[in-house]
Amino acid sequence: MAATISHDIRLTSLADIVESLDGPIAITECSSATHNRCELTKLCPARSNLQLINQAVLGALDNITLAQMTRPLGHDIVFMERSAPKQRALTA
């Protein structure tokens, strides 16, 4: 079911817009509560982490309104550069 977009841009989130255009927001099949067609869901060791990432993306889109996107922030955002990946020990 597609999201309903309000005529009031102060009430319309970016998540509402994306869902209206593309359907449920999910970075993977297993990240969608209603459209999970992946046959490996129960066996996938990364599933819970991918769902966590999906929730973070959805939360970010849900917390920004169309009204907010129409005006400048008033300050620049400092983008953090990621340093070289850390070497992590592999665990079983």
Each residue's pLDDT tens digit, 57-83: 999 999 999 999 998 877 887 877 777
pTM above the 0.75 mark? Answer: no
In order of 1, 5, 46, 56, the CA distances from 52 in angstroms are 22, 26, 10, 6
Is 82 within the bounds of a domain?
no
Find, among 30, 38, 37, the residue nearest to 55 by Cα: 30
- Write down the pLDDT at residue 8: 87
Q: How confident is the model at residue 21 (pLDDT cuts 50, 70, 90)?
A: very high
Confidence of residue 92 (pLDDT cuts 50, 70, 90): low
Give all strands (DSSP E) within the chain, no chain letters: none
The answer to whether position 86 is within a domain reads no
Residue that is written with structure tokens 């990946």 in the block: 85
In a domain, 61, yes or no: yes
Whether residue 18 is contained in a domain is answered as: yes
- Rounded to whole angstroms, the Cα distance separating 71 from 90 reads 45
- The total of structural domains in the chain comes to 1
Query: Is residue 58 in some structural domain?
Result: yes
- The pLDDT of residue 3 is 55
In-domain check, residue 45: yes
